[in-house]
C-alpha cells in the first residue's frame, strides 16, 4: 500500500513539473508574456521600407499601425516623414499636427512640423516650432539648421547666419553644406543694405566679420524686423512677383514670394488669398483652406476667398462646406457666376438634384459659357437617383426624376424608359401578390404619368387579383434583377 502511494505521488509530482515547464515555456504565466504587438510589427516593416526607399509601402504599413493604435505620436511622425520623402508636405503636415497634439513635450514632433512648414512657406511657424524644439532638447544641429533656413525666408539674415554657424559648431561635418548658405545670406543682406532696404546695422551683417572664422563671426541671435518703406511697397512688390510666378506656373516659387510678403505685412489678406491659390494649383487643399481662413478673418468681405475655399473643399470632397462657402459668396455678390458653378458642383456631389437644378437654370439664364458642360453630369446624377428611388419603393419620386432627366437629356431618358417602367411594373405586381392593392395603385399612377404601355398591363393585373387572387406567389426578384441590370449599364 505504501509503495502504491509513493508511486502515485511520484507521478503527480512529474505531472506538476511538466505543467510548470509548459506554463513558463509557452507563456501561460501571463497573457502578455508571449504576445506579439502587431503595431510594432507594422512599424518595423515600415522602418525597413523607409530604409529601402519604398515609401508607398512604408505609408501603408504606418497606416495599418495607426488603425490599430491611433494614439502613437511616433507612428504619425513616421508616416509624415514618408509623405515628405514623396514630396507631399501638405499631407505630412496633417500627421505632424497630430503628433504634436499627442506628444506636446516631444521635441522631434515640433522639428518635423517645422521641416514641413519650411517646404510650404510657413516660415514664421517654422521658427516658432524650432525654438520650442530647442527648448525641449538643446544643442541639436539639425534644428539650428532648419531655423536658420526659416530665418532666411523671413529676411532675418543676422539670425539666419547665427543659427547656421551654431549648427556647424555643433556638427563640423555640416560646414560644406551650410557655409555657402551663410555666404549667400551675407551677400543678400549687404546688397539690401546698399540699396537702402536694410541698413548695415539692421541687416546684422558685418562685412569685416564675413571673412572671419565662425567663432569670431558669431552674432547675437536677436530677431530683427526688416525695414519696409512707409507705403509697404516692398510687400506689394513681392505679392506682384508672386502673382507673376503663379501665372507662369511656378507655384512653389510663388508660394515663397507671397510668404515673404506676409512676413513683412502679417495682415496682408490679399497675399494669403493668392498664396492659397498657389497651394491649390500644387494640389494642397488643406493648406489652401488654412490660408483662406486667415484671409477671411482679415477681410470677411472677400468674395474671391469664399469661392477659392469652396473650390478647396470640393477637392477635399467636403461638399456641405463647399456649398456653404459658395452661398456666402453669393450673399455678398449676387452676380458671382463662379459661386453658382461651385455650388452646383457641391450639390451634385451630394446628389441633391433639386437644388443643383436651380443653380443650373440660373447659369443658363445668365448664358454662362460653362452651363452646358454640366448637362451630362446632371443626367448621370438623375440616373443614379432614379435607381435609388426604384430600389427603395418610391415609384412616384422615380418618375418625377425621370421626367426631369427627360428635360435634360431626352435620349438618355428614352433609353432608360423601358427598363424603369418594367421595374415599376414588377414592383406593382409584387405589391398586388402580397395583397397590398393600395400600394400597387401607387405604382400604377406612376406608370400612367410616364404614359407607357406597362400602365395598361398593371391595371389588368390588378383587376385580375381583385377578382380571383394573385396568379403567383409574391416575388420581387424580377424588379431586383432589372435594377441590377440597369445599375451595370
DSSP states of 317-347 = T-HHHHHHHHHHHHHH-TT-HHHHHHHHHHH
Domain boundary among 242, 271, 292: 292
Domain contains 1: no
402, 455: one domain? yes
437, 347: one domain? no
112, 184: one domain? yes
User: What pLDDT score was predicted for residue 367?
Assistant: 61
Domain contains 159: yes
93, 128: one domain? yes
Domain contains 315: yes
SS3 464: helix
- C-beta separation of 383 from 413 below 8 A: no
204, 62: one domain? yes
pLDDT band at 487 (very low <50, low <70, confident <90, very high): very low
Domain contains 278: yes
Question: Which of left, alpha, beta for 318 (phi over 0: left; psi -120 to 50: alpha)?
Answer: beta
Domain contains 25: no
* Lowest mean pLDDT segment, chosen from 26-30, 289-293, 317-321: 26-30
pLDDT band at 8 (very low <50, low <70, confident <90, very high): low
Which range, 155-169, 194-208, 339-353, 358-372, has the best average confidence (pLDDT)? Answer: 155-169
Residues with Cβ within 8 Å of residue 77, at least 6 apart in sequence: 95, 96, 99, 108, 109, 112
* Lowest mean pLDDT segment, chosen from 98-102, 135-139, 204-208, 287-291: 204-208
Q: How many CA atoms lie within 13 A of 399 on its CB side?
A: 21
Q: Can you give the residue range of the structural domain that contains 318? A: 301-369
Give the count of domains, the chain.
4
pLDDT band at 337 (very low <50, low <70, confident <90, very high): confident
Q: Over 80: is that where the pLDDT of 309 sits?
A: yes
Q: Over 60: is that where the pLDDT of 181 sits?
A: yes
391, 243: one domain? no
Which range, 100-114, 177-191, 347-361, 362-376, has the best average confidence (pLDDT)? Answer: 100-114
309, 269: one domain? no
User: What pLDDT score was predicted for residue 406?
Assistant: 73
DSSP states of 130-155 = HHHHHHHS---HHHHHHHHHHHHHTT
Under DSSP, the state recorded for 225 is P
- C-beta separation of 257 from 119 below 8 A: no
Domain contains 45: yes
User: What pLDDT score was predicted for residue 489?
Assistant: 47
What is the mean pLDDT of the segment spanning 133-141? 92
117, 212: one domain? yes
Domain contains 22: no
Total number of residues shown for the chain: 489
pLDDT band at 173 (very low <50, low <70, confident <90, very high): very high
Instruction: Write out the three cell numbers for 441.
Output: 395603385
259, 177: one domain? no
User: Where residue 343 sits, what CATH number does that domain have?
Assistant: 1.25.40.10
Percent of the chain at pLDDT exceeding 70: 72
Which range, 41-45, 268-272, 339-343, 471-475, has the best average confidence (pLDDT)? Answer: 268-272
Angle between helices 353-365 and 395-408 (to 10 degrees): 20
User: What pLDDT score was predicted for residue 134?
Assistant: 92
Residues with Cβ within 8 Å of residue 78, at least 6 apart in sequence: 43, 46, 47, 50, 58, 62
Q: Over 70: is that where the pLDDT of 398 sits?
A: yes
Q: For residue 105, what are the CA distances in angstroms to 101, 313, 398?
A: 9, 32, 58
Q: For residue 195, what are the CA distances in angstroms to 198, 200, 225, 260?
A: 8, 11, 17, 18
In whole angstroms, give the CA distance from residue 161 to residue 150: 11
Tell which wins on pLDDT, 325 or 401.
325
Q: Over 80: is that where the pLDDT of 30 sits?
A: no
244, 388: one domain? no
In whole angstroms, give the CA distance from residue 17 to residue 284: 65
Q: Over 90: is that where the pLDDT of 231 sits?
A: no
Domain boundary among 185, 217, 249: 217
Q: Over 60: is that where the pLDDT of 486 sits?
A: no
Domain contains 8: no
Tell which wins on pLDDT, 127 or 386.
127
User: What pLDDT score was predicted for residue 107?
Assistant: 93
Other C-beta atoms closer than 10 Å to the C-beta of 80 total 28
Average pLDDT along the chain = 76
Amino acid at each position: 500500500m505504501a509503495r502504491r502511494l509513493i508511486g502515485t505521488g511520484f507521478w503527480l509530482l512529474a505531472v506538476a513539473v511538466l505543467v510548470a515547464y509548459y506554463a513558463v515555456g509557452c507563456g501561460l504565466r501571463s497573457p502578455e508574456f508571449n504576445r506579439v504587438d502587431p503595431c510594432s510589427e507594422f512599424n518595423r516593416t515600415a522602418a525597413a521600407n523607409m530604409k529601402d526607399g519604398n515609401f508607398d509601402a512604408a505609408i501603408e504599413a504606418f497606416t495599418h499601425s495607426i488603425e490599430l493604435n491611433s494614439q502613437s505620436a511616433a507612428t504619425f511622425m513616421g508616416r509624415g516623414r514618408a509623405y515628405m520623402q514623396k514630396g507631399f508636405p501638405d499631407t505630412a503636415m496633417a500627421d505632424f499636427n497630430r503628433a504634436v497634439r499627442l506628444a506636446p513635450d516631444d521635441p522631434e514632433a515640433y522639428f518635423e512640423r517645422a521641416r514641413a512648414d519650411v517646404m510650404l512657406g510657413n516660415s514664421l511657424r517654422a521658427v516658432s516650432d524650432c525654438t520650442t524644439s530647442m527648448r525641449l532638447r538643446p544643442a541639436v544641429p539639425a534644428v539650428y539648421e532648419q531655423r536658420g533656413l526659416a530665418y532666411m525666408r523671413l529676411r532675418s539674415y543676422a539670425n539666419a547666419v547665427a543659427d547656421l554657424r551654431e549648427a556647424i559648431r555643433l556638427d563640423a561635418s555640416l560646414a560644406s553644406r551650410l557655409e555657402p548658405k551663410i555666404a549667400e545670406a551675407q551677400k543678400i543682406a549687404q546688397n539690401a543694405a546698399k540699396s537702402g532696404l536694410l541698413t548695415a546695422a539692421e541687416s546684422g551683417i558685418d562685412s569685416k566679420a564675413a571673412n572671419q572664422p565662425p567663432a569670431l563671426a558669431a552674432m547675437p541671435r536677436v530677431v530683427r524686423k526688416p525695414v519696409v518703406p512707409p507705403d509697404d511697397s516692398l510687400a506689394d512688390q513681392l505679392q506682384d512677383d508672386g502673382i507673376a510666378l503663379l501665372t507662369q506656373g511656378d507655384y512653389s516659387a510663388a508660394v515663397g514670394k507671397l510668404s515673404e510678403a506676409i512676413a513683412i505685412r502679417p495682415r496682408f489678406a490679399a497675399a494669403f488669398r493668392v498664396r492659397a491659390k498657389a497651394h491649390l494649383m500644387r494640389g494642397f487643399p488643406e493648406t489652401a483652406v488654412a490660408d483662406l481662413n486667415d484671409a477671411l478673418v482679415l477681410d470677411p468681405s472677400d468674395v474671391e476667398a469664399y469661392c477659392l475655399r469652396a473650390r478647396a473643399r470640393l477637392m477635399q470632397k467636403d461638399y456641405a462646406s463647399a456649398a456653404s462657402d459658395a452661398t456666402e459668396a453669393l450673399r455678398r455678390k449676387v452676380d458671382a457666376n463662379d459661386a453658382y458653378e461651385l455650388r452646383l458642383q457641391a450639390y451634385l456631389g451630394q446628389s441633391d438634384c433639386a437644388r443643383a437644378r436651380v443653380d443650373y437654370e440660373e447659369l443658363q439664364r445668365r448664358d454662362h459659357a460653362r452651363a452646358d458642360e454640366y448637362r451630362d453630369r446632371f443626367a448621370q446624377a438623375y440616373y443614379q437617383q432614379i435607381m435609388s428611388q426604384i430600389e427603395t419603393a418610391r415609384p412616384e419620386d422615380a418618375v418625377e426624376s425621370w421626367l426631369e432627366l427627360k428635360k435634360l437629356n431626352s435620349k438618355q431618358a428614352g433609353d432608360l424608359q423601358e427598363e424603369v417602367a418594367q421595374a415599376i411594373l414588377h414592383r406593382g405586381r409584387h405589391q398586388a401578390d402580397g395583397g397590398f392593392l393600395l400600394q400597387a395603385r401607387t405604382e400604377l399612377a406612376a406608370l400612367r404619368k410616364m404614359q407607357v404601355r406597362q400602365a395598361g398591363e398593371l391595371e389588368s393585373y390588378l383587376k385580375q387579383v381583385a377578382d380571383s387572387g394573385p396568379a403567383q406567389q409574391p416575388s420581387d426578384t424580377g424588379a431586383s434583377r432589372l435594377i441590377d441590370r440597369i445599375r451595370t449599364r
